[in-house]
Amino acid sequence: MPHFLKAIILVCCIWPTLSCAADNYGTHPAALTVVDELVEQEGFDREALLQVFAQAQKKQGILDAMSRPAEKTKPWYAYRGIFLTDKRENDGVEFYNMHRKELERAEQETGVPAEIIVAIIGVETSYGRIMGSYRVLDALTTLAFDYPRRAEFFTRELKSYLLLTREQGFDPTELKGSYAGAMGYGQFMPSSYRAYAIDFDGDGVTDIWNNKTDAIGSVANYFVEHGWRAGEPVVFPAAASSDNLPLTTFVQGRSGLKPERSIAEFAELGVTTTAEVEPQALATAMKFELEDGFEYWLGMHNFYVITRYNHSAMYAMSVYQLSQRLAELIDG
């Protein structure tokens, strides 16, 4: 049994009022089901798991955050203003310069541009400044056991979390993240951590909370595993024959992000680009609202890969434009 789990058991036995209070998930029926499954399917120690769940606390603030009505989607001109700021650009250049060696190695080994990696970390956590203050254990148990609408998803993530902490030798009661359980510099959910996070510095531990080298390599690997094509373009500026083209021509919300129409087909529909690109190349068309009018873009395969991080065309465009600004500043 790992030493940290033995320690938890000892604390609970000696001072039960401190760590095994009633307001926890130690005896919750759904938690006991998870314990049974992890014991039977993954070989966990039952007593150790029970003591971990006895440390998990329901957090009403997490439920409140998840249950707030979704805000109306901001128009592009307002959305991009959140991420494309002088501070985020300057901090990105500083992050790049501090970790140039690791970023250049990641780019060389994976083909993912260093500026894309930095931009993701910048958009997700302001380069590690805002990684979340909730215990991941509290976030995932609260949402798995007291948020019925997405209980199945968060139960899977909770299991993944307990598996990853066992695999890496982490104390599951200590790691912190967002109110939804996203973790580290790149805000990986536990299942994404297990699938894509890597030990990029070779020290035997994959740490995306404190080890920036691992965080950089893990973001790059996420893109590789989602099909990033080294050296290929991301997006092209476009023009529309009319601002009133059918909405079905363009990406709508989370749908239509995958390139399925060719550049030639879009030209027939009224969306064209002057860039040099093969007519048969597949793309997606985007229409973004400006304060006065609209702007148009054609996203290629690598743009779609960025949306695998967050299923939003505006998110992906913000990441891409921040990356381009960072590249200009670094080269300059």
pLDDT in tens, 45-82: 999 999 999 999 999 999 999 988 766 679 999 999 99
Q: pLDDT tens-digit profile of 154-171?
A: 999 999 999 999 999 999
What is the model's pTM? 0.91
Mean pLDDT of 205-209: 98
Q: Determine, yes or no, domain membership for 171.
A: yes
pLDDT at 14 over 60: no
52 CA to centre of own chain:
26
d(CA 164, CA 143): 18
Q: What proportions of the chain, in percent to the nearest 5, are helix, strand and coil?
A: 55, 10, 35
pLDDT at 227 over 50: yes
d(CA 268, CA 280): 13
d(CA 107, CA 100): 10
Q: Determine, yes or no, domain membership for 71.
A: no
Q: Determine, yes or no, domain membership for 86.
A: no
The helix/strand/coil state of 142 is helix
Question: Phi, psi at residue 152, to the nearest 5°?
Answer: -60, -45
- Percentage of the chain exceeding pLDDT 90: 88
Q: Determine, yes or no, domain membership for 230.
A: no
pLDDT at 8 over 80: no
pLDDT at 16 over 80: no
Q: pLDDT tens-digit profile of 242-291?
A: 999 999 999 988 888 999 999 999 999 999 999 999 999 999 999 999 99
297 forms beta bridges with 237, 286
> Which H helix or E strand runs over 106?
helix 100-110
How many folded domains does the chain comprise? Answer: 1
pLDDT on residue 255: 81
Residues in the chain: 332
Q: Which residues are catalytic?
A: 124
Residue numbers of the domain that contains 196: 3-65+134-219
User: Residue 226: which residues within 8 A CB-CB, separation 6 or more?
Assistant: 305, 308
Q: Determine, yes or no, domain membership for 248.
A: no
pLDDT at 19 over 60: no
- Calculate the dihedral angle through the C-alpha atoms of 171, 174, 179, 181, rounding to the nearest 10 degrees: -20
pLDDT at 11 over 90: no
**Per-residue confidence band for 183, with pLDDT thresholds at 50, 70 and 90:** very high
**Per-residue confidence band for 15, with pLDDT thresholds at 50, 70 and 90:** very low
pLDDT on residue 9: 47
- 16 close to 50: Cβ distance less than 8 angstroms: no
Q: Determine, yes or no, domain membership for 185.
A: yes
- Percentage of the chain exceeding pLDDT 70: 92
d(CA 147, CA 16): 27
pLDDT at 12 over 70: no
The helix/strand/coil state of 290 is strand
User: Residue 68: which residues within 8 A CB-CB, separation 6 or more?
Assistant: none
pLDDT on residue 18: 36
d(CA 35, CA 273): 56
Q: Determine, yes or no, domain membership for 95.
A: no
Mean pLDDT of 100-104: 97
Q: Determine, yes or no, domain membership for 232.
A: no
Radius of gyration (C-alpha) of the chain in whole angstroms: 22
pLDDT on residue 117: 98
CATH of the domain at 169: 1.10.8.350
pLDDT on residue 254: 84
Nearest to 156 by CA among 108, 190, 203: 190
Mean pLDDT of 115-140: 98
DSSP notation for 226-251: TT--TT---EEEEEES-TT--GGGS-
Per the listing, tokens 């790049």 go with 96
The helix/strand/coil state of 166 is helix
d(CA 284, CA 304): 8
Token pair in block for residue 8: 């938890």
Say which DSSP state 72 is in: P
**Per-residue confidence band for 5, with pLDDT thresholds at 50, 70 and 90:** low
Task: Round the average pLDDT of the chain to a whole number and report it.
Answer: 93
